[in-house]
Amino acid sequence: MKIVLSFSLVFIAVYTYAQTPFNVRDSIDANNINALSLVHGDMWWDEGGTSASRCSFPAGSGKHINFVGALWMGGYDGAGQLHIAAQTYRQSGNDYWPGPLDGGGALDYATSDKWAKIWKIRRSDIDAFLALPSHTETNTPQSILTWPAKGNAYAKGKGGASLSITADMAPFKDNDGDGIYNPLNGDYPAIRGEQTLWYVFSDNGPTHSQTGGTPLKVEVHSLVYAYNRGTLIDNVVYYDYTIVNKSSEDYSDFRLALWDDVDLGYYLDDYIGFDSGRRLAIAYNATDDDGLVAGHPANSYGPSPPATGVTFVSLPGDGDAGYVPTGSFMFYLNNLSMFGHPSGPMEYRNYMTSKWRTGVHLKYDSATFDPFVSGYGGYITGEDRNYAYPDDPSLFGGNSECNLDVNPGDRKFVLASNSFTLRANSSERVVMALVVADGAGGCPSVDLSGIKEVADTAWQGYEGHLSVADITEKQTQPLIYPNPAHDKLFVDLVFMRGIVQCSIYNVLGQQMYQLELTHRVSTIDVSDYPPGVYYIQYSIDGIVGKRVFVKE
């Protein structure tokens, strides 16, 4: 049984005084993953019920690849004050509440109550709607009629409450081009995949008590969707977030992160790692028999367990020049040490910027790292690093939990975006994908090639929008890692076929390197490159593209 570190007497007092959170949730269950979402913005667990995992793979198996996840975000106003919002187990209340902010950037309890709903729609609903010769209140499916889109006179929230919507909310196809949603004129929800969830939550509601920090006054439009195509895309769930800044502040050094208490089957024999080229956080098993040490509890996978992970498929700053690197991949332990649970606004922020809760930056020095003698002492001496455990376990002597033979256990990680500026009265978009691959096994012979292939499929599915029933288009973009690079840069051709011409340029346009790439993975020595930003230009079959990497 999972036990979460808590301070029960304090939290009972808080909940007695504060307004009750809403116990509203729904699942995306279109493919091999059944993943729960909650209206307060957290996901994958039955908070308010049994507090058990609700992210099963295979769907309906009773075995789960995640326990709980939530968004963290924060940035600095013009006066240098930190504004922050985060969620963990809601033991000290909520930073997020369902519903949009008003003109003053606030959300009251009565409005939040009306918006405490997750709208769920299936592709089959839309197909049936489009097949109708005309549309009435009677023959239009309720999921389409009550969709919470701008101007919809039929929009309904929790318990059938009427909603008046004058701003852009849930996306829709504007069939009649009048800028408002009217399903009787043929307008319908704009969704992806075979099934979509939509909901909205904000960080300046009735309470802001999880972090105790200053609210950002942002609202988050959430689109969760999944495909069912009989391919690897069936092992993917997308989480598409639009972050709307309703404040008058420009937030600098803004970061958005996924916090994940990632219980893979039995929760006390997990490892984590990071693939910087794929912006992919990974959880895998420390042994090839999940749950063996606990006598194979019901939620364990047993022999040859799967691997799971989350990849950022779209971040602010992505563009023609390539993909920006992930800001950081950090972790912490289930205790109150300097490596443990955050407490207070700055400690949440620290974990989003490759720092321990005390503000000490993540470091790595292989000469001093000894998890059995000094705990995590090696991670507070040596050179600064942005990514914990960045090497594949198959890399002999690499920096992975498997190679370092770290004690397995209950893992929590924070995968953060790069820093960007969130302008007042503007929005930014972040898209991530939950991925899983069967049969990864565990150390010492764990194979993470499967989870990386599913992550590649998630990227292809997002960029191509899966307009066909299968993924058949040729991959035309290599993956590069680690990013930032230190001594070596790896170029992975993934699904590219043929000879790839590759050149590296600095920001002045000076060519630093040129080579024909023919192997799946090629290694480039960048140890002599001055620190800075570089561009990889590549071409294959007349297709030319660029990727960006940073040399530290």
Which whole-number Å values give the CA distances from 189 to 141, 145, 244, in the listed order? 11, 9, 20
Which whole-number Å values give the CA distances from 335 to 4, 252, 329, in the listed order? 10, 31, 19
Q: Who's near 133: CB < 8 A, 6+ residues apart?
A: none
Retrieve residue 266's tokens.
């039995």
Look up tokens 């200053």; give the residue.
214
Retrieve residue 150's tokens.
């701008």
Contact call for residues 255 and 386 (beta carbons, < 8 A): no
Q: Of 150, 171, 180, which Cα lies nearest the Cα of 223? A: 171
From the CA atom positions of the chain, what is the Rg in Å?
23
Between CA 355 and CA 331 the distance in angstroms is 9
Retrieve residue 478's tokens.
């290599």
pLDDT for 468 equals 28
Is residue 251 classed as helix, strand or coil in its secondary structure? strand
Q: Of 534, 546, 448, 532, which Cα lies nearest the Cα of 524? A: 534
pLDDT for 478 equals 72
pLDDT for 502 equals 87
pLDDT for 422 equals 98
Is residue 463 classed as helix, strand or coil in its secondary structure? helix
Q: Who's near 17: CB < 8 A, 6+ residues apart?
A: none
Retrieve residue 493's tokens.
């051709």
Between CA 273 and CA 258 the distance in angstroms is 15
pLDDT for 498 equals 65
Q: Of 196, 144, 198, 140, which Cα lies nearest the Cα of 169? A: 198
The 10 Å CB-count burial string (b at 16+, else e) for 300-310 is: bbeeebbbbbb
pLDDT for 375 equals 61
**What does each of the 552 residues of the chain score in pLDDT, given as a tens digit?**
575 554 333 333 333 334 789 999 999 999 999 999 999 999 999 987 788 999 999 999 999 999 999 999 999 999 999 999 999 998 888 999 999 999 999 999 999 999 999 999 999 999 999 999 999 999 999 999 999 999 999 999 999 999 999 999 999 999 999 999 999 999 999 999 999 999 999 999 999 999 999 999 999 999 999 999 999 999 999 999 999 999 999 999 999 999 999 999 999 999 999 998 889 999 999 999 999 999 999 999 999 999 999 999 999 998 766 788 899 999 999 888 889 999 999 999 999 999 999 999 998 876 666 555 556 767 778 888 899 999 899 887 788 999 888 899 999 999 999 999 999 999 999 999 999 999 999 999 999 999 999 998 999 888 764 432 332 333 446 777 777 787 888 787 755 556 788 899 887 888 888 888 766 677 888 988 988 888 888 887 666 777 778 887
Contact call for residues 254 and 421 (beta carbons, < 8 A): yes
Contact call for residues 351 and 332 (beta carbons, < 8 A): yes
Instruction: Give a three-class secondary structure readout of 176-189.
Output: CCCCCCCHHHCCEE
- Domain segments of the chain: what residues? 8-25+39-96+203-355+388-436, 111-196, 476-552
Look up tokens 């000894």; give the residue.
370
β-sheet bridge partners, residue 271:
284
Q: Of 57, 465, 31, 45, which Cα lies nearest the Cα of 226? A: 31
The CATH code of the domain at 476-552 is: 2.60.40.3080
The 10 Å CB-count burial string (b at 16+, else e) for 472-492 is: eeebbbbbbbbbbbeeebbbb
pLDDT for 449 equals 93
Instruction: Please give the single-letter amino acid code of residue 355.
Output: K
Between CA 327 and CA 51 the distance in angstroms is 31
Residue 4: exposure state from Cβ atoms within 10 A (0-12, 13-18, ≥19)? middle
pLDDT for 369 equals 64
Instruction: Give a three-class secondary structure readout of 478-506.
Output: CEEECCCECCEEEEECCCCCCCEEEEEEE
Contact call for residues 457 and 309 (beta carbons, < 8 A): no
Q: Who's near 523: CB < 8 A, 6+ residues apart?
A: 488, 489, 490, 491
Between CA 26 and CA 11 the distance in angstroms is 26
Q: Where are the alpha helices (DSSP H) in 204-356?
A: 345-351
Instruction: Give a three-class secondary structure readout of 495-543.
Output: CCCCCEEEEEEECCCCEEEEEEECCCEEEEECCCCCCEEEEEEEEECCE
Distance of CA 35 to the CA centre of its chain: 13
Contact call for residues 56 and 172 (beta carbons, < 8 A): no
pLDDT for 477 equals 63
Between CA 123 and CA 134 the distance in angstroms is 19
Retrieve residue 440's tokens.
């990864």
